[in-house]
Amino acid sequence: MRVPYGWMADYCDPGLLPRDLAERMAMTGTEVERVVTLGPPSAEGFVIGKVLDVVKHPDADRLNVCQVDTGDAGSADGGRTIVCGAPNVAAGQTVVVALPGAVMPGGMKIKQAKLRGVESNGMICSDRELELGEDHNGILVLEDGPAAGTPAAGVLPLAEPVLELEVTPNRTDCFGIYGVAREAHAISGAPLAPAPWDGGPIGPGVGSESGDLERLGDPAGAVKTADRARVLVRDEELCPRFTARGYAEVKVGPSPRWLRSRLIAAGMRPISNVVDITNYVMWLTGQPMHAYDLDLVPEGELVIRRAENGEKVAALDGNDYELTDRMVAVADRNGLAGIGGMMGGSVSEVSDSTTTVLMEAANWNGPNILRTSRDLGLRSEASSRFEKQLHPDLTLRAQAVAARLMVEVCGATPMTGIVDIAAPVPAAEPIWLRAGRVERILGLAIDTDRQARALEMLGFGVQRDGKDLLVSVPPDRHYDVTREIDLVEEVGRISDLDRNLPATLPSGPGRPGGLSRQQVLQRRAEDSLRESGFDEMVGWSFTDPNEKDRLRLDPEDPRAGAVRLANPLSEEQSLMRTTLLGSVLGAAQRNLSRGADRVALFESGRVYLPAAAFGPGPLGGDFPGNTRPPFNEPQHLCGLAVGSVDPSTWRGEASGADFFALKGVLEHLAGSLGTAVSVERIPGAPTQPFLHPGKSGVVRVDERPIGWIGEIHPLVAAEYDLDCAVAFEIALADLLQASPVGEEAYRDFTPFPPVDRDLAVLVAEEMPASSVLAAVRDSGGELLASVSVFDVYSGEGVGEGEKSLALRLRFRAPDRTLSDEEIEPIWSGIIAALEEIGGKLRG
């Protein structure tokens, strides 16, 4: 909302510098985005001039040498000499002169200068040069009146400060100049003039006995509006009020200068006096209007009804819109004449030949306008007001102001009476503001008198009842202020809260704050990957529908995409990711293409899956609240390495990360949580399509699968321009669930020494080491403390298709030193178990 300071000052001049007013408004609830100055930075040096004489420049066809009276010493003897290139300059004109020293918009300073040999002592300005309009066909010519030498700022809005307000959607009153003036009044205490519909001023060119309805209501002998216009409202829910007034003998033409200047300052384009009046009234009162050429409305009949699906309307912006039955339209006998609350139709547009006008001021259903605006992709100044729900009573205010302007500006004769079709509006009940309520909410006591005064200045009616206040709400605050708490806010915001409000701490939650166990362990898990040399990244939750192809996912795979956006910013961001792998691969690709020589990245983030199993805990997608979330959002951890994880140093080249390097990282992660993971290749289980089938496996904890690890499939790696990459992805909550951190129970350890024995066993090449270890463990009994692989060998001395695993077994008893005799039978059992799975003991 652009508020020209001078326009607001018609009603309340707070006596503050615009930027100080802006600051005060910001501190009372109305953000001022910026204060701009229209036209020249200062009005200094711009004066009214009278053109005394014009002669052709001796050396330039297009230039004139003018003598201009500027009422000062410089023009004492027959005028000031000014060279002017405008074609329309003529003797006798009243013009605006920029004297030497004046600064033009854009910063150019006017100087004495010779133009083709003739000294010029200033410049005669055009509308465009002063940023007062778009007309650049010639100089600005004023009506006679102001004397030569009068500061031009008294006549034209030069250097007009304009406040650009960011009005919050609840404050529909501040979408009108008068509402902003009332706000300035409440902030500054400066007097407030009566409203323009209530005897206050309307504009510089309009007589002060304003547009009050009583005066203009019934000119004797005039035609009645109701005789010329018939309005039917078929849907009172969508159109709670429709008012219309006819005008005859309308002279359509350009608006007077003051009106055009104000519209331009407000950011609107002047069109014609009738249209300009609708815009001016909207800007002043907050209530949009629309003007029909009544002669182009067959039989003067307008019907407000729901549109039919597919019904089309040609709107004033030159576009055709196709409506649906959720939208409200204004129809004439032949078809649609407008989209209710949005935009009028071109069929009855006011033009130069219009003589009879019907002025509409209607009220529309806010939510419906909001939806229509979104569905049509059309937003107008009118719809942006209506969508916030205006009060139906504002319509008559607008009619009152418009009537005055139609008479004064267009020379129109108003028809008698206003057609007014109104659904009943429940009267606003007065609201009690009880003593102590303000202090209870704000934590700051404000005495009752100050509360009452604040509310009165904001336009509320206040009755005192002891320390309680009974407050009635004006129509333009009707939808915003409905409860006691809303009054508390009103009192608070203009009580200089920023300065007066103490900063205290609440008495406290009554229990210590803290992170949940899951949150503590999540940090530990992330820290572990950081310790392992991985940089954490944050990828987009959005993904591209083609990612599933790049990852070779089957279209039937649930990971091909569960959450699809209805209105994505682009097709590339239209799905929610189901795996972190795509994000991590993408980041690796970007880093390598930018010259990185290796990549080790991890992400801790959510994936978005169909709502199936939730949990455990919030990291598993099980969030508090009565209603389950629509989808499952477990937290995943994904790590990826390309090239070395450990750095190369001056002591040697680091080797590239392979499966085992990454498995070590994963084991470190599990170890930092006090647990362990295993990696298995489960026979028959489907492998991940994006992994190397021979160098990948399922990550398990306590036998439960929690994710995968492996070398990226060469075809997938190629999609991301990678040679070789290894990665893992696990469900974090599942891993954390296995962690005993903080719950470990102490077990006594034995002082008796262990007995270590090694063996080497030949097994089939495809036999997993984990099966061999399991066979040893199962047969080793309680005295077998541990078993580990310390060498794997195949080649010379080992048969084709076989490998040799060297194992170290450690035996220990809690209460004695073990003897060979005790170990012997266990040892035999272990050998037997190994033979049972096809193992042969080596030499």
Partner 1 sequence: MVERIEQIEAEAKAAIEAASSATDIEEARVRYLGRKAELTGILRGISDLPPEQRGPVGSTGNKVRKALEGLIEAKVDSIRHAELEKSLAGDRIDVTLPGSPARRVGHLHPITRTRRMIEDVMVGLGYQVMEGPEVEHDYYNFTALNHPEGHPARMLQDTFYVEDEQHVEQVLLRTHTSPMQVRAMEAAPPPLFMIVPGKTYRRDSDATHSPMFHQVEGLAVGEGITLADLKGTLLAMLREIFGPDREIRMRPHFFPFTEPSVEFDVSCFRCGGSGSLDDGSRCGLCKGIGWIELGGAGMVDPNVFGFVADSGYDPDSVTGFAFGFGVERIAMLRHGVGDLRLFFDNDMRMLEQFS
Question: What is the rounded CA–CA span in Å between residue 634 and residue 629?
Answer: 12
| Structure token pair of residue 132 | 């007062």
Chain positions 389 to 418 lying near partner 1, rule: CB under 8 A, are 389
User: Least Å distance between CB 587 and partner 1?
Assistant: 4
Question: What is the rounded CA–CA span in Å between residue 316 and residue 324?
Answer: 19
| Number of amino acids touching partner 1 (CB under 8 A) | 105
301-306 and 230-233 strand pairing = parallel
Residue 363 near residue 241 (C-beta atoms within 8 A)? yes
Q: In terms of CB distance, is 220 or 569 closer to partner 1?
A: 569
Under DSSP, is residue 580 helix (H, G, I), strand (E, B) or coil?
coil
Q: In terms of CB distance, is 79 or 582 closer to partner 1?
A: 582
User: Least Å distance between CB 640 and partner 1?
Assistant: 12
Chain positions 413 to 442 lying near partner 1, rule: CB under 8 A, are 440-442
Question: What is the rounded CA–CA span in Å between residue 425 and residue 393?
Answer: 9
Instruction: Give the Å distances, CA to CA, from 65 to 56, 59, 741.
Output: 6, 11, 94
Give 266's contacts (C-beta < 8 A, 6+ positions apart). Answer: 2, 3, 4, 7, 162, 283
Chain positions 474 to 513 lying near partner 1, rule: CB under 8 A, are 483, 485-486, 488-489, 492-493, 497-498, 501-513
Chain positions 53 to 72 lying near partner 1, rule: CB under 8 A, are none
Q: In terms of CB distance, is 29 or 697 closer to partner 1?
A: 29
Chain positions 184 to 243 lying near partner 1, rule: CB under 8 A, are none
Chain positions 161 to 190 lying near partner 1, rule: CB under 8 A, are 168-171
User: Least Å distance between CB 1 and partner 1?
Assistant: 14
Q: Which amino acid is at 143?
A: E
Question: What is the rounded CA–CA span in Å between residue 198 and residue 409?
Answer: 19
Question: What is the rounded CA–CA span in Å between residue 125 and residue 104?
Answer: 10
User: Least Å distance between CB 188 and partner 1?
Assistant: 16
What sections of 85-224 are H helices per DSSP?
177-188, 213-217
Question: What is the rounded CA–CA span in Å between residue 79 and residue 665?
Answer: 91
Chain positions 625 to 684 lying near partner 1, rule: CB under 8 A, are 625-627, 629-631, 633, 645-647, 649-651
Q: Is the dihedral of CA 101, 102, 107, 109 positive or negative?
A: negative
Q: In terms of CB distance, is 623 or 752 closer to partner 1?
A: 623
Identify the residue among 97, 599, 673, 772 touching partner 1 (CB under 8 A): 599
User: Least Å distance between CB 594 and partner 1?
Assistant: 7
Question: What is the rounded CA–CA span in Å between residue 316 and residue 820?
Answer: 103
Residue 548 near residue 560 (C-beta atoms within 8 A)? yes
Residue 601: strand pairing partners: 535, 640
Q: What's the DSSP call for residue 744?
A: P
Q: Which amino acid is at 772?
A: V
User: Least Å distance between CB 336 and partner 1?
Assistant: 23
User: Least Å distance between CB 373 and partner 1?
Assistant: 8
Under DSSP, is residue 645 helix (H, G, I), strand (E, B) or coil?
coil
Identify the residue among 26, 213, 303, 813 touching partner 1 (CB under 8 A): 26
Identify the residue among 621, 697, 780, 839 touching partner 1 (CB under 8 A): 621
Task: Return the range that interacts with partner 1 (CB under 8 A); candidates 281-289, 536-544, 550-558, 773-781.
Answer: 536-544
Residue 259 near residue 409 (C-beta atoms within 8 A)? yes
Task: Return the range that interacts with partner 1 (CB under 8 A); candidates 85-93, 180-188, 458-466, 557-565.
Answer: 557-565
Q: In terms of CB distance, is 245 or 385 closer to partner 1?
A: 385
Identify the residue among 272, 346, 519, 678 touching partner 1 (CB under 8 A): 519
Question: What is the rounded CA–CA span in Å between residue 392 and residue 422?
Answer: 8
Q: In terms of CB distance, is 472 or 541 closer to partner 1?
A: 541
| Structure token pair of residue 86 | 């405008």
Element (H, E) at 313: strand 312-314
Q: In terms of CB distance, is 16 or 783 closer to partner 1?
A: 16
User: Least Å distance between CB 719 and partner 1?
Assistant: 18
Give 232's contacts (C-beta < 8 A, 6+ positions apart). Answer: 301, 302, 303, 304, 305, 421
375 binds partner 1 (CB under 8 A): no
516 binds partner 1 (CB under 8 A): yes
Q: In terms of CB distance, is 503 or 745 closer to partner 1?
A: 503
Q: In terms of CB distance, is 369 or 673 closer to partner 1?
A: 369
Q: Give residue 39's Cα distance to chain centre.
A: 32
377 binds partner 1 (CB under 8 A): no
Q: In terms of CB distance, is 483 or 747 closer to partner 1?
A: 483
User: Least Å distance between CB 529 and partner 1?
Assistant: 7
Identify the residue among 216, 282, 537, 833 touching partner 1 (CB under 8 A): 537
368 binds partner 1 (CB under 8 A): yes
